[in-house]
Amino acid sequence: MKKKIPLLTLVSLLFLSCKGGVSQSFNCPKIEDFQKTLDTIQKGISLEKIEKSPVAGLCEVIVKVSDTDKALFYTDSKGQFIVSGNIIELSSKKNLTSEKLAFLNKRVLPKETLQELEKVVAFTWGQAPASIYLITDPDCPFCKKAEAILEELVKAGKLSVKVILFPLEPIHPEAKAKSISILCDKKGFEGLKNGYLSKNQCAEGTKKVTDSIQLMQKLGVRGTPTFVFPDGEIKSGVLPAEFILSKLGKPS
């Protein structure tokens, strides 16, 4: 299959930083010109910005994946190559690509939204004054890993967890009924941990779970587990205990 421009894929780009920085005397392609070039290969790639990367002669291309997600790759100053991979700064051992992606995709909810979250909290787990929100699904296997990490922190008195139930019905058909059962029968964390399910689908529990689903969809939360920290930052995935504690200003 013929391609309009050559494609270069690298596993990683190793960048050895030098004292005084790297010469940046080059220009990056104009976004409208590079967009036209990409459209000849694959339409639907929405470019947001092109700027110089930490590596001389290499430009960073920021792509809008969705309303909340961004990706990036690299190109040369003439827009002739696509470079996919990570830039590693050897002097600091930092993955500059990962750091930039984390910056681009960082989401912080405003205080008003945090107040909305309070309305859909199913239960609070633990007694510690420092708390976080956990958006979870009773049948999500990755959530179980996150909950196991949090359980140790709760037992140690390092935090409490405000649990929001967000059943992902298309992939977990029993999750909504379980969520409602946990609420109606007041089973709390043990019910969540053990996949509690009963025939009790009370109106109050049904409404709270429905409200929770609607709010998560409004906020663009698409998966579980998802954490919301006191500063409003929202992060998805299984997070290490050290990171969670650092967000609360606590030693690990």
pLDDT digits (tens, 9 = 90+) for 61-85: 999 988 778 899 999 999 999 999 9
User: Residues of the chain with pLDDT > 70: what percent?
Assistant: 90
Q: Is residue 101 within 8 Å of residue 61, measured between CB atoms?
A: no
pLDDT for 76-109, tens place per residue?
A: 999 999 999 999 999 999 999 998 988 888 888 9
Which pLDDT score is estimated for 24? Answer: 57
Residues recorded for the chain: 252
CATH number at 203 reads 3.40.30.10
Helix and strand tally (H, E) in the chain?
8, 12
- Residue 71 and residue 145: Cα distance in Å, rounded? 26
pLDDT for 120-141, tens place per residue?
A: 999 999 999 999 999 999 999 9
Mean pLDDT, all residues of the chain: 89
Where does a domain end: 75, 105, 135?
A: 105
112 and 233 fall within a common domain: yes
Parent domain of 114: 108-247
Q: Is residue 79 within 8 Å of residue 37, measured between CB atoms?
A: yes
pLDDT for 239-250, tens place per residue?
A: 999 999 999 987
148 in any annotated domain:
yes
3 in any annotated domain:
no
81 and 165 fall within a common domain: no
Banded pLDDT at 20 (limits 50, 70, 90):
very low
pLDDT above 50: residue 160? yes
Give the predicted TM-score (pTM) of the model: 0.72
